[in-house]
Amino acid sequence: MGRSGPHNLARRQLWNCVSLTMVLLSLLLRPACCQQCRIQRCNAEYVASTSPSSGLPEEAPADMDYCTALRAFSLCTRRTARSCRGDLVYHSAVFRIKELFSQHNCSSDGPTSSARAASTPRPAASEMCDYESRALASGPAGLQKKYAHCGLFGDPHLRTFRDEFQTCKVEGAWPLIDNRYLSVQVTNVPVVQGSSATATSKITVIFKAFRGCTEQKVYQATTEDVPSAFLDGTRSGGEVGSLWIAERNGPGGRHIRIQARHIGTSIIVRQAARYLTFAVRAPEDTLDSAEEAGGLQLCLHGCPRSELINEHTLSRQGLQPGTEGGGVSSSLGPAPREPYTVARATAKCREILQVEDVYFQSCVFDLLTTGDPEFSMAAYGALEDLKAMPPSKLKQNPPRTPRLSNTAIPCSQSSFTTAASFLILLVVVLLLL
Protein backbone atom coordinates (compact mmCIF):
# COMPACT_ATOMS: atom_id res chain seq x y z
CA MET A 1 0.00 0.00 0.00
CA GLY A 2 2.89 2.36 0.71
CA ARG A 3 4.15 2.12 -2.84
CA SER A 4 0.81 3.02 -4.48
CA GLY A 5 1.26 6.74 -3.90
CA PRO A 6 4.66 7.09 -5.65
CA HIS A 7 3.56 4.65 -8.36
CA ASN A 8 0.40 6.66 -9.16
CA LEU A 9 2.44 9.85 -9.12
CA ALA A 10 4.85 8.37 -11.67
CA ARG A 11 2.01 7.31 -13.90
CA ARG A 12 0.41 10.76 -13.74
CA GLN A 13 3.74 12.34 -14.63
CA LEU A 14 4.12 9.97 -17.59
CA TRP A 15 0.59 10.76 -18.79
CA ASN A 16 1.41 14.46 -18.60
CA CYS A 17 4.51 13.77 -20.67
CA VAL A 18 2.47 11.91 -23.29
CA SER A 19 -0.10 14.72 -23.47
CA LEU A 20 2.62 17.35 -23.85
CA THR A 21 4.28 15.28 -26.58
CA MET A 22 1.00 15.00 -28.50
CA VAL A 23 0.46 18.77 -28.35
CA LEU A 24 4.02 19.47 -29.50
CA LEU A 25 3.75 17.00 -32.39
CA SER A 26 0.47 18.53 -33.53
CA LEU A 27 2.04 22.00 -33.53
CA LEU A 28 5.13 20.80 -35.37
CA LEU A 29 3.23 18.82 -38.01
CA ARG A 30 0.58 21.43 -38.75
CA PRO A 31 2.73 23.84 -40.81
CA ALA A 32 4.12 20.99 -42.93
CA CYS A 33 0.89 19.22 -43.76
CA CYS A 34 -1.79 21.91 -43.72
CA GLN A 35 -0.31 24.55 -46.00
CA GLN A 36 -2.72 25.72 -48.65
CA CYS A 37 -2.10 24.83 -52.28
CA ARG A 38 -1.68 28.07 -54.20
CA ILE A 39 -1.92 26.71 -57.74
CA GLN A 40 -5.00 28.83 -58.44
CA ARG A 41 -2.93 31.94 -57.73
CA CYS A 42 -0.26 30.71 -60.18
CA ASN A 43 -2.94 30.17 -62.82
CA ALA A 44 -4.39 33.64 -62.26
CA GLU A 45 -1.00 35.35 -62.48
CA TYR A 46 -0.16 33.50 -65.70
CA VAL A 47 -3.48 34.42 -67.31
CA ALA A 48 -2.99 38.06 -66.30
CA SER A 49 0.57 38.22 -67.64
CA THR A 50 -0.31 36.73 -71.04
CA SER A 51 -3.48 38.68 -71.76
CA PRO A 52 -3.07 41.27 -74.55
CA SER A 53 -3.71 44.12 -72.12
CA SER A 54 -0.56 43.22 -70.19
CA GLY A 55 1.59 44.90 -72.81
CA LEU A 56 2.64 41.94 -74.93
CA PRO A 57 3.04 43.01 -78.58
CA GLU A 58 0.52 41.75 -81.10
CA GLU A 59 3.15 40.65 -83.60
CA ALA A 60 5.25 37.49 -83.54
CA PRO A 61 8.10 38.82 -81.34
CA ALA A 62 5.65 38.46 -78.44
CA ASP A 63 6.77 34.83 -78.24
CA MET A 64 9.87 35.93 -76.32
CA ASP A 65 7.73 37.70 -73.70
CA TYR A 66 5.37 34.76 -73.68
CA CYS A 67 8.25 32.40 -72.87
CA THR A 68 9.23 34.68 -69.98
CA ALA A 69 5.69 34.54 -68.60
CA LEU A 70 5.61 30.78 -69.09
CA ARG A 71 8.85 30.35 -67.13
CA ALA A 72 7.34 32.46 -64.34
CA PHE A 73 4.30 30.18 -64.35
CA SER A 74 6.55 27.13 -64.11
CA LEU A 75 8.54 28.69 -61.25
CA CYS A 76 5.35 29.46 -59.35
CA THR A 77 4.17 25.85 -59.63
CA ARG A 78 7.54 24.54 -58.42
CA ARG A 79 7.40 26.79 -55.36
CA THR A 80 4.01 25.45 -54.36
CA ALA A 81 4.73 21.84 -55.33
CA ARG A 82 5.15 20.59 -51.76
CA SER A 83 1.79 21.91 -50.57
CA CYS A 84 0.02 20.80 -53.76
CA ARG A 85 0.94 17.13 -53.60
CA GLY A 86 -2.11 15.17 -54.76
CA ASP A 87 -3.91 18.26 -56.11
CA LEU A 88 -5.49 17.52 -59.51
CA VAL A 89 -5.40 21.16 -60.65
CA TYR A 90 -1.68 21.33 -59.81
CA HIS A 91 -0.78 18.17 -61.74
CA SER A 92 -2.88 19.31 -64.69
CA ALA A 93 -1.06 22.66 -64.69
CA VAL A 94 2.35 20.97 -64.67
CA PHE A 95 1.33 18.78 -67.62
CA ARG A 96 -0.07 21.80 -69.52
CA ILE A 97 3.12 23.81 -68.91
CA LYS A 98 5.19 21.07 -70.57
CA GLU A 99 2.90 21.19 -73.59
CA LEU A 100 3.14 25.00 -73.82
CA PHE A 101 6.95 24.93 -73.61
CA SER A 102 6.98 22.53 -76.57
CA GLN A 103 4.29 24.35 -78.54
CA HIS A 104 5.98 27.76 -78.36
CA ASN A 105 9.58 26.45 -78.56
CA CYS A 106 10.37 28.03 -75.19
CA SER A 107 13.46 27.21 -73.18
CA SER A 108 13.13 26.45 -69.49
CA ASP A 109 16.31 28.48 -68.90
CA GLY A 110 15.98 32.24 -69.02
CA PRO A 111 14.50 35.26 -67.27
CA THR A 112 11.16 35.20 -65.52
CA SER A 113 8.79 38.10 -65.13
CA SER A 114 6.75 39.27 -62.19
CA ALA A 115 3.21 38.75 -63.37
CA ARG A 116 0.58 41.39 -62.68
CA ALA A 117 -1.34 41.05 -59.49
CA ALA A 118 -4.26 38.69 -59.80
CA SER A 119 -6.58 41.43 -58.57
CA THR A 120 -5.76 43.62 -61.58
CA PRO A 121 -8.93 43.76 -63.67
CA ARG A 122 -8.71 42.51 -67.23
CA PRO A 123 -10.95 43.72 -70.01
CA ALA A 124 -13.64 41.22 -70.90
CA ALA A 125 -12.49 41.27 -74.54
CA SER A 126 -8.98 40.20 -73.54
CA GLU A 127 -10.24 37.07 -71.82
CA MET A 128 -12.77 36.30 -74.54
CA CYS A 129 -10.18 36.65 -77.33
CA ASP A 130 -7.52 34.37 -75.81
CA TYR A 131 -8.42 30.69 -75.91
CA GLU A 132 -5.58 29.72 -73.54
CA SER A 133 -6.76 32.24 -70.95
CA ARG A 134 -10.32 31.05 -71.19
CA ALA A 135 -9.18 27.44 -70.79
CA LEU A 136 -7.03 28.15 -67.74
CA ALA A 137 -9.71 30.28 -66.11
CA SER A 138 -12.28 27.51 -66.50
CA GLY A 139 -10.49 25.28 -63.96
CA PRO A 140 -9.34 21.64 -64.18
CA ALA A 141 -11.36 20.92 -67.33
CA GLY A 142 -9.65 23.79 -69.13
CA LEU A 143 -6.20 22.66 -68.08
CA GLN A 144 -6.83 19.30 -69.74
CA LYS A 145 -7.83 20.67 -73.14
CA LYS A 146 -6.63 18.47 -76.00
CA TYR A 147 -5.08 19.61 -79.27
CA ALA A 148 -5.01 17.92 -82.66
CA HIS A 149 -2.53 18.26 -85.55
CA CYS A 150 -3.10 18.03 -89.31
CA GLY A 151 -0.50 18.33 -92.05
CA LEU A 152 -0.53 18.22 -95.86
CA PHE A 153 2.75 18.09 -97.78
CA GLY A 154 4.54 16.43 -100.67
CA ASP A 155 2.69 14.49 -103.37
CA PRO A 156 0.52 14.99 -101.22
CA HIS A 157 0.78 13.16 -97.92
CA LEU A 158 -1.87 13.79 -95.30
CA ARG A 159 -1.72 13.43 -91.54
CA THR A 160 -5.28 13.79 -90.22
CA PHE A 161 -6.49 15.11 -86.87
CA ARG A 162 -6.91 11.46 -85.86
CA ASP A 163 -3.21 10.76 -86.58
CA GLU A 164 -3.98 8.71 -89.67
CA PHE A 165 -1.33 8.94 -92.41
CA GLN A 166 -2.39 8.78 -96.07
CA THR A 167 -1.06 9.51 -99.55
CA CYS A 168 -3.70 10.80 -101.95
CA LYS A 169 -4.36 12.04 -105.48
CA VAL A 170 -6.98 14.74 -104.72
CA GLU A 171 -6.41 16.78 -107.87
CA GLY A 172 -8.19 20.13 -107.96
CA ALA A 173 -9.68 22.11 -105.06
CA TRP A 174 -10.34 20.25 -101.80
CA PRO A 175 -11.43 21.42 -98.31
CA LEU A 176 -9.11 20.58 -95.43
CA ILE A 177 -11.11 22.26 -92.64
CA ASP A 178 -14.55 23.86 -92.53
CA ASN A 179 -16.13 24.80 -89.21
CA ARG A 180 -17.72 27.83 -87.56
CA TYR A 181 -14.32 29.44 -86.93
CA LEU A 182 -12.06 28.47 -89.81
CA SER A 183 -12.06 27.27 -93.41
CA VAL A 184 -9.03 25.98 -95.29
CA GLN A 185 -8.99 24.91 -98.93
CA VAL A 186 -6.10 23.64 -101.04
CA THR A 187 -5.66 23.26 -104.78
CA ASN A 188 -3.53 20.35 -106.00
CA VAL A 189 -2.07 19.95 -109.48
CA PRO A 190 -0.38 16.97 -111.19
CA VAL A 191 3.33 16.76 -110.50
CA VAL A 192 4.49 14.57 -113.38
CA GLN A 193 2.69 13.67 -116.57
CA GLY A 194 1.62 10.05 -116.56
CA SER A 195 1.49 9.87 -112.75
CA SER A 196 -1.53 10.23 -110.47
CA ALA A 197 0.49 12.04 -107.81
CA THR A 198 -0.30 15.71 -107.21
CA ALA A 199 1.12 18.52 -105.06
CA THR A 200 -0.35 21.67 -103.53
CA SER A 201 -0.10 24.83 -105.61
CA LYS A 202 -2.54 27.07 -103.70
CA ILE A 203 -3.71 27.43 -100.10
CA THR A 204 -6.62 29.62 -98.97
CA VAL A 205 -7.28 30.17 -95.25
CA ILE A 206 -10.39 32.01 -94.06
CA PHE A 207 -10.65 33.10 -90.42
CA LYS A 208 -14.33 33.78 -89.90
CA ALA A 209 -15.48 36.83 -87.98
CA PHE A 210 -15.40 36.36 -84.21
CA ARG A 211 -17.51 38.94 -82.41
CA GLY A 212 -15.44 41.30 -80.30
CA CYS A 213 -12.13 39.76 -81.41
CA THR A 214 -11.57 39.95 -85.15
CA GLU A 215 -13.31 40.60 -88.41
CA GLN A 216 -13.07 38.06 -91.23
CA LYS A 217 -9.52 37.66 -92.53
CA VAL A 218 -8.34 35.78 -95.59
CA TYR A 219 -4.83 34.47 -96.26
CA GLN A 220 -3.82 33.05 -99.61
CA ALA A 221 -0.52 31.55 -100.78
CA THR A 222 0.42 30.29 -104.24
CA THR A 223 3.52 28.78 -105.79
CA GLU A 224 4.38 32.25 -107.11
CA ASP A 225 3.82 34.15 -103.85
CA VAL A 226 3.82 33.11 -100.18
CA PRO A 227 3.04 36.46 -98.52
CA SER A 228 3.49 37.42 -94.88
CA ALA A 229 0.20 39.35 -94.78
CA PHE A 230 -3.48 38.80 -95.27
CA LEU A 231 -5.19 39.60 -98.56
CA ASP A 232 -6.10 43.07 -97.31
CA GLY A 233 -2.43 43.84 -96.64
CA THR A 234 -2.69 43.75 -92.83
CA ARG A 235 -0.70 41.48 -90.52
CA SER A 236 -3.15 41.31 -87.62
CA GLY A 237 -6.86 41.21 -86.96
CA GLY A 238 -8.97 42.79 -84.25
CA GLU A 239 -7.96 45.27 -81.58
CA VAL A 240 -6.72 42.89 -78.87
CA GLY A 241 -4.04 40.92 -80.75
CA SER A 242 -6.23 37.85 -81.18
CA LEU A 243 -4.98 37.15 -84.73
CA TRP A 244 -1.59 37.83 -86.29
CA ILE A 245 0.71 36.63 -89.03
CA ALA A 246 4.51 36.66 -89.21
CA GLU A 247 7.39 35.43 -91.33
CA ARG A 248 9.84 33.10 -89.66
CA ASN A 249 13.17 31.50 -90.51
CA GLY A 250 14.28 28.29 -88.86
CA PRO A 251 14.65 24.56 -89.47
CA GLY A 252 13.23 23.83 -92.89
CA GLY A 253 13.80 27.39 -94.11
CA ARG A 254 11.43 30.33 -94.43
CA HIS A 255 7.82 29.80 -93.44
CA ILE A 256 4.72 31.76 -92.56
CA ARG A 257 3.12 31.32 -89.14
CA ILE A 258 -0.42 32.45 -88.39
CA GLN A 259 -1.54 32.55 -84.77
CA ALA A 260 -5.26 32.74 -83.97
CA ARG A 261 -5.29 33.20 -80.21
CA HIS A 262 -9.07 33.57 -80.01
CA ILE A 263 -9.52 29.95 -81.17
CA GLY A 264 -6.22 28.52 -79.89
CA THR A 265 -5.09 27.65 -83.42
CA SER A 266 -1.66 27.83 -85.09
CA ILE A 267 -0.97 27.45 -88.81
CA ILE A 268 2.31 27.11 -90.72
CA VAL A 269 2.62 27.48 -94.50
CA ARG A 270 5.86 26.60 -96.31
CA GLN A 271 7.13 26.42 -99.85
CA ALA A 272 9.12 23.32 -100.76
CA ALA A 273 10.59 23.34 -104.28
CA ARG A 274 7.72 24.50 -106.52
CA TYR A 275 4.93 23.48 -104.16
CA LEU A 276 3.36 24.35 -100.79
CA THR A 277 2.93 22.57 -97.48
CA PHE A 278 0.35 23.18 -94.75
CA ALA A 279 0.20 22.35 -91.03
CA VAL A 280 -2.31 23.27 -88.33
CA ARG A 281 -2.77 22.68 -84.60
CA ALA A 282 -6.23 23.28 -83.17
CA PRO A 283 -8.16 22.43 -79.97
CA GLU A 284 -10.26 19.32 -80.31
CA ASP A 285 -13.35 21.09 -79.00
CA THR A 286 -13.27 23.56 -81.91
CA LEU A 287 -13.59 20.61 -84.27
CA ASP A 288 -16.94 19.52 -82.82
CA SER A 289 -18.85 21.95 -85.01
CA ALA A 290 -17.13 20.48 -88.05
CA GLU A 291 -18.35 17.02 -87.07
CA GLU A 292 -21.89 18.36 -86.83
CA ALA A 293 -21.68 20.15 -90.18
CA GLY A 294 -20.51 17.01 -91.96
CA GLY A 295 -19.25 17.29 -95.51
CA LEU A 296 -15.85 16.45 -96.91
CA GLN A 297 -12.90 17.67 -94.82
CA LEU A 298 -9.59 15.98 -95.45
CA CYS A 299 -8.06 16.89 -92.08
CA LEU A 300 -11.05 15.48 -90.23
CA HIS A 301 -12.12 12.50 -92.31
CA GLY A 302 -9.11 11.78 -94.52
CA CYS A 303 -9.12 11.34 -98.28
CA PRO A 304 -11.93 9.46 -100.06
CA ARG A 305 -11.02 5.85 -100.71
CA SER A 306 -11.08 6.47 -104.46
CA GLU A 307 -8.34 9.11 -104.02
CA LEU A 308 -5.91 7.02 -101.97
CA ILE A 309 -2.52 6.05 -103.41
CA ASN A 310 -0.45 3.07 -102.34
CA GLU A 311 2.91 4.80 -102.30
CA HIS A 312 4.92 1.57 -102.25
CA THR A 313 3.16 0.25 -105.35
CA LEU A 314 3.60 3.53 -107.16
CA SER A 315 7.26 4.01 -106.31
CA ARG A 316 8.35 0.51 -107.30
CA GLN A 317 5.96 -0.52 -110.03
CA GLY A 318 4.18 2.58 -111.33
CA LEU A 319 7.43 4.31 -112.26
CA GLN A 320 9.08 2.32 -115.00
CA PRO A 321 12.83 2.31 -115.63
CA GLY A 322 13.87 5.26 -117.66
CA THR A 323 11.05 7.45 -116.29
CA GLU A 324 11.66 6.88 -112.59
CA GLY A 325 11.26 10.23 -110.91
CA GLY A 326 12.35 12.46 -113.74
CA GLY A 327 12.18 10.80 -117.16
CA VAL A 328 9.16 12.97 -117.95
CA SER A 329 8.61 16.65 -117.53
CA SER A 330 6.80 18.24 -114.59
CA SER A 331 3.62 20.15 -115.20
CA LEU A 332 4.95 23.18 -113.32
CA GLY A 333 8.60 23.26 -114.35
CA PRO A 334 11.50 21.59 -116.12
CA ALA A 335 12.51 18.04 -115.22
CA PRO A 336 15.75 17.46 -113.27
CA ARG A 337 18.79 16.30 -115.18
CA GLU A 338 19.22 12.92 -113.51
CA PRO A 339 16.48 10.44 -112.63
CA TYR A 340 16.22 9.10 -109.09
CA THR A 341 16.48 5.44 -108.29
CA VAL A 342 15.18 3.98 -105.03
CA ALA A 343 18.76 3.74 -103.74
CA ARG A 344 19.62 7.36 -104.60
CA ALA A 345 16.34 8.65 -103.19
CA THR A 346 16.87 6.70 -99.97
CA ALA A 347 20.41 8.05 -99.60
CA LYS A 348 19.26 11.62 -100.22
CA CYS A 349 16.47 11.45 -97.66
CA ARG A 350 18.80 9.87 -95.11
CA GLU A 351 20.92 13.04 -95.28
CA ILE A 352 18.15 15.16 -93.77
CA LEU A 353 15.91 12.68 -91.91
CA GLN A 354 17.53 10.56 -89.23
CA VAL A 355 14.65 8.18 -88.51
CA GLU A 356 13.13 5.98 -91.22
CA ASP A 357 9.49 6.67 -90.35
CA VAL A 358 6.49 7.75 -92.43
CA TYR A 359 8.12 11.11 -93.13
CA PHE A 360 11.23 9.37 -94.42
CA GLN A 361 9.12 7.12 -96.64
CA SER A 362 7.25 10.17 -97.91
CA CYS A 363 10.54 11.86 -98.76
CA VAL A 364 11.66 8.84 -100.84
CA PHE A 365 8.29 8.72 -102.59
CA ASP A 366 8.44 12.44 -103.44
CA LEU A 367 11.92 12.16 -104.95
CA LEU A 368 10.94 9.17 -107.07
CA THR A 369 7.82 10.98 -108.26
CA THR A 370 9.24 14.45 -108.98
CA GLY A 371 12.95 13.83 -109.40
CA ASP A 372 13.48 17.21 -107.71
CA PRO A 373 16.05 17.07 -104.88
CA GLU A 374 14.63 20.25 -103.31
CA PHE A 375 11.31 18.48 -102.83
CA SER A 376 12.88 16.35 -100.12
CA MET A 377 12.49 19.39 -97.86
CA ALA A 378 8.70 18.96 -97.91
CA ALA A 379 8.85 15.97 -95.56
CA TYR A 380 11.54 17.61 -93.44
CA GLY A 381 9.49 20.80 -93.04
CA ALA A 382 6.36 18.80 -92.19
CA LEU A 383 8.25 16.96 -89.46
CA GLU A 384 9.52 20.27 -88.04
CA ASP A 385 5.96 21.60 -88.04
CA LEU A 386 4.83 18.53 -86.10
CA LYS A 387 7.54 19.18 -83.50
CA ALA A 388 6.57 22.85 -83.24
CA MET A 389 2.82 22.12 -83.04
CA PRO A 390 2.48 18.63 -81.55
CA PRO A 391 -0.87 17.01 -80.78
CA SER A 392 -1.69 16.42 -77.14
CA LYS A 393 -0.28 13.31 -75.51
CA LEU A 394 -2.36 10.48 -74.14
CA LYS A 395 -4.25 11.23 -70.97
CA GLN A 396 -2.09 10.75 -67.90
CA ASN A 397 -3.25 8.74 -64.90
CA PRO A 398 -4.79 11.17 -62.38
CA PRO A 399 -3.33 11.39 -58.88
CA ARG A 400 -4.85 8.83 -56.50
CA THR A 401 -4.97 11.17 -53.51
CA PRO A 402 -8.35 13.00 -53.50
CA ARG A 403 -8.64 16.70 -52.72
CA LEU A 404 -10.37 17.75 -49.51
CA SER A 405 -11.28 21.25 -50.67
CA ASN A 406 -10.52 23.79 -53.37
CA THR A 407 -7.51 25.22 -51.57
CA ALA A 408 -6.33 22.59 -49.10
CA ILE A 409 -4.72 19.22 -49.69
CA PRO A 410 -4.50 16.11 -47.51
CA CYS A 411 -1.75 16.10 -44.92
CA SER A 412 1.27 13.91 -45.42
CA GLN A 413 0.43 10.33 -44.49
CA SER A 414 4.05 9.55 -43.71
CA SER A 415 4.18 12.33 -41.09
CA PHE A 416 1.06 11.04 -39.38
CA THR A 417 2.36 7.47 -39.49
CA THR A 418 5.58 8.49 -37.74
CA ALA A 419 3.73 10.46 -35.04
CA ALA A 420 1.22 7.67 -34.43
CA SER A 421 3.98 5.08 -34.07
CA PHE A 422 5.77 7.25 -31.52
CA LEU A 423 2.61 7.75 -29.45
CA ILE A 424 1.75 4.04 -29.52
CA LEU A 425 5.25 3.26 -28.23
CA LEU A 426 4.79 5.66 -25.31
CA VAL A 427 1.43 4.11 -24.43
CA VAL A 428 2.93 0.62 -24.46
CA VAL A 429 5.71 1.75 -22.14
CA LEU A 430 3.12 3.33 -19.83
CA LEU A 431 1.07 0.15 -19.63
CA LEU A 432 4.11 -1.95 -18.83
CA LEU A 433 4.99 0.18 -15.84
- 3-state SS, the chain, equals CCCHHHHHHHHHHHHHHHHHHHHHHHHHHHHHHCCECCHHHHHHHHHHHHCHHHCCCCCCCHHHHHHHHHHHHHHHHHHCCHHHCCCHHHHHHHHHHHHHHHHCCCCCCCCCCCCCCCCCCCCHHHHHCCHHHHHHHCCHHHHCCCEEEEEEECCCEEECCCCCEEEECCCEEEEEEECCCEEEEEEEEECECCCCCEEEEEEEEEECCECCCECCEEEEEECCCCCCCCCCCCCEECCCCCEEEEEEEECCEEEEEEEEHHHCEEEEEEEECCEEEEEEEEEHHHHHHHHHHCCCCHHHHCCCHHHECCHHHHHHHHCCCCCCCCCCCECCECCCCCCCCHHHHHHHHHHHCCCCCHHHHHHHHHHHHHCCHHHHHHHHHHHHHHHHCCCCCCCCCCCCCCCCCCCECCCCHHHHHHHHHHHHHHHHHHHHC
Specify the pLDDT at position 112: 74
Minimal CA–CA distance to 340: which of 328, 324, 354, 356? 324
Closest by CA position to 260, among listed 282, 239, 277: 282
Kindly compute the dihedral angle of the four CA atoms of residues 61, 201, 290, 58, in this order, to the nearest 10 degrees. 10
Choose the most confident range, by mean pLDDT, from 46-55, 265-274, 412-421. 265-274
More confident position, 151 or 123: 151
pTM for this model (two decimals): 0.61
Quick one: pLDDT at residue 177? 95
Decide: residue 327, CB within 10 A, 0-12 exposed, 13-18 middle, 19+ buried.
Answer: middle
Q: Which of 190, 250, 251, 200 is nearest to 226 (CA)?
A: 200
**Residue 147 has what pLDDT?**
93
Cβ atoms within 10 Å of 245's Cβ, excluding its own: 24
Give tens-digit pLDDT for 268-301. 999 998 899 999 999 998 886 544 555 789 999 9
* Geometric angle at alpha carbon 238, from 232 and 244, rounded to 5°: 70
Mean per-residue pLDDT for 171-179?
94
Share of the chain above pLDDT 70, in %: 65
Q: CA 283 to CA 199: how far, in whole Å?
A: 27
Predicted pLDDT of residue 275? 93
Please report the pLDDT score of residue 111 as a whole number.
78
Residue 160's region, left for phi above 0, alpha for psi from -120 to 50, else beta, is beta
Question: Of 174-188, 276-290, 339-353, which range is least confident?
Answer: 276-290
> Pseudo-torsion of CA 425, 426, 428, 429, nearest 10°?
120
pLDDT for 99 equals 80
Query: Is pLDDT larger for residue 427 or for residue 414?
Result: 427
What is the structure's pLDDT at 369?
A: 85
Tell me the average pLDDT across 238-259.
88
Model confidence pLDDT, tens digit, residues 383-409:
999 999 999 864 433 333 333 333 333
In terms of average pLDDT, the best of 214-218, 277-281, 300-304 is 277-281
Mean pLDDT of the chain: 75
Cβ-Cβ contacts under 8 Å for 324 (sequence gap 6 or more): 339, 340, 341, 368
**Structural contact between residues 63 and 69, judged by C-beta atoms closer than 8 angstroms:** no
More confident site: 167 or 333: 167
More confident position, 103 or 300: 300
Q: How far apart are CA 129 and CA 78, in angstroms?
A: 29
Q: What is the CB-side half-sphere exposure of residue 133 using CA atoms within 13 A?
A: 25
Question: Would residue 233 be called left, alpha or beta, if left means φ above 0 and alpha means ψ between -120 and 50 degrees?
Answer: left
Which pLDDT score is estimated for 44? 72
pLDDT at 164 (0 to 100): 93
Residue-level pLDDT at 182? 94
Provide the pLDDT confidence category of residue 354 given band limits of 50, 70 and 90. confident
Per-residue pLDDT tens over the stretch 335-345: 444 678 999 99
Q: Average pLDDT for residues 32-44, to the nearest whole number?
A: 68
How confident is the model at residue 84, as a pLDDT?
86
Confidence of residue 309 (pLDDT cuts 50, 70, 90): confident
Higher per-residue pLDDT: 374 or 2: 374
Domains of the chain: 39-143 (no CATH), 148-388 (3.40.1000.10)
What span, in angstroms and rounded, lies between the C-alpha atoms of 103 and 101?
6
